[in-house]
Amino acid sequence: MLKSKNVELVPFEPKYIKKFVEFRNSEDSRNFLMPGIPYPVTEGSVSEWLSKKANHHESGEFAIIYNETKEYIGNISYGNVDWKNRHCEIAIMIGEEKYRNRGLGTEALVTLLDFIFNELNLHRVELKVYDFNERAIKCYEKCGFKKEGLLREVVYKHGRYINEWIMGIIKSEFLEHNFQGNNRNNT
């Protein structure tokens, strides 16, 4: 478990599947799903996916828990770990709408980045985000991510081609941010 002031990142378990399916199949979430992520999902397909993700050496899937209410509000993960070159990809979703725009996604990201850089000792983290997802881009930049490249018209969605930003952060950049107040405890 990774804990900070307002959120806990706990291993994703079957007890979260029903709510996860609700989050993932919502119209809002569907607008931001990256290519290759199945839609719609079912409890059965998520259970099957979870059973296949047994290798925690290559990835980690966490439920985001809001400390004040102990409510499951979203997911955050890392994957595609390249141990030789020491980098990985991450993804986040705050599925519970009432918890968006409150800084909880930023706090969850900082908590995961702290774990990735200081516990896993990776050097670089990257993600992809649609260019129209301004809320997410602002969150990532707040955490220290930089836009590294634009994949032009890479996805056909909503009847048009959409651009994706590749964003990344290096361990030294994260450490320079000096996120005081994150107070992560690894238990």
How far, in Å, CA of 114 to CA of 121, rounded? 10
pLDDT digit string, tens, across residues 57-114: 678 999 999 999 999 999 999 999 999 999 999 999 998 889 998 999 999 999 999 9
- CATH code of domain 2-186: 3.40.630.30
Provide the 10 A C-beta neighbour count for residue 9: 25
pLDDT for 16-43, tens place per residue? Answer: 989 888 888 877 766 666 655 666 777 7
Indicate the domain borders of the chain.
2-186
Question: Which pLDDT belongs to residue 32?
Answer: 66
Q: How far apart are CA 106 and CA 91, in angstroms?
A: 12
Computed from CA positions of residues 129, 134, 135, 139, in that sequence, does the dihedral angle turn out positive or negative? positive
32/157 Cα distance (integer angstroms): 10
Q: What is the pTM of this model?
A: 0.88
- Angle (nearest 5°) at CA 171 between 167 and 176: 100
Alpha helices, H only, 15-157:
17-25, 27-32, 43-52, 104-118, 134-142
For residue 58, how many other CB atoms are within 10 A of its CB?
Answer: 14
A 10 A CB-CB count for 43 gives 12
Q: Is 101 left (phi over 0), alpha (psi -120 to 50) or beta?
A: left
